[in-house]
Chains A and B, each alone.
Chain A
Amino acid sequence: MGIDLRIITFRDIFQYEAGKKSRFSPEFQNLSAQIIMDKDDMVQLGLKDGQNVCLENEMSKIVVKAIQTDDEPHPGLAFMTNSPWSNQLVKDNINDRIIPDFKAILVQASASNESVTNLAELLERLRH
């Protein structure tokens, strides 16, 4: 069973710092390949903090870690840093708007037993 989510990208200084040290480090992957979700949304998917969630739309599919928000409830909304992971899911319907939908990424989310999508896999997708 899945639920619909709107993902909004945001800046995180820790992820930035990790990316500055190395885009290829496990630290950068850990801080990028995660999604901050509403508590009730996680309950609906049977997810506990830190478990894997699959995010899928017509652009791509990735598996990331679900992190429970410490903010007020925001059902249906989730947050990811801008990174090669979130960019997998950003639509290509730019036309005359030229600004991609970095803050309106619509996906289907479901619990996943698969491992987190790693950077090597994303690089492979870029080559094909």
Chain B
Amino acid sequence: MRKIYLPLTEEIRESLRAGEEVLLSGKMYTARDAAHKRLYEAIKKHKKLPLDLTDNVIYYCGPTPAKPGAPVGSCGPTTAKRMDGFTPALLASGLAGMIGKGRRSEEVKKAIKRYKAVYLVAVGGAGAYFASKIKKANILAYKELGPEAIYELWVENFPAIVAIDSRGQSIIKE
């Protein structure tokens, strides 16, 4: 399986093909509904974002609290389509990839193509498995949102499947 080291540069993105399985290593960020809403509002108001989106990957996930000694608890992906309304704005601001589960809207698909980004799918409901791929976790922003805060995650060999590639090709069954 192909190993990818984050950040996800344009060169890597353009080489990924829908249907390809990859193992990701490096740093990614979590954000789900509430964090998306805040990032989106900040972009609209031209405010500074708490993270640089350029070439970075957002994982749609709200990790569960860790047991003592572990970096995080179970942390599988959440349904991507709830972020659809916010995603094009984030992509326009440099976001390179998203990891989630399930289908995306036509607008998101178009934006992925326009900005040469990628949408990867992680297996939904495999929270314990993904926990074992996370080496370190830190809260980066919006701490008050609890599990919905933005975390920095350092992952090693995190498996994902390219579901929509930078050419707009998709393998998701409609």
Q: Do A and B share a complex? A: no
- B interface residue numbers (CB < 8 A to A): none
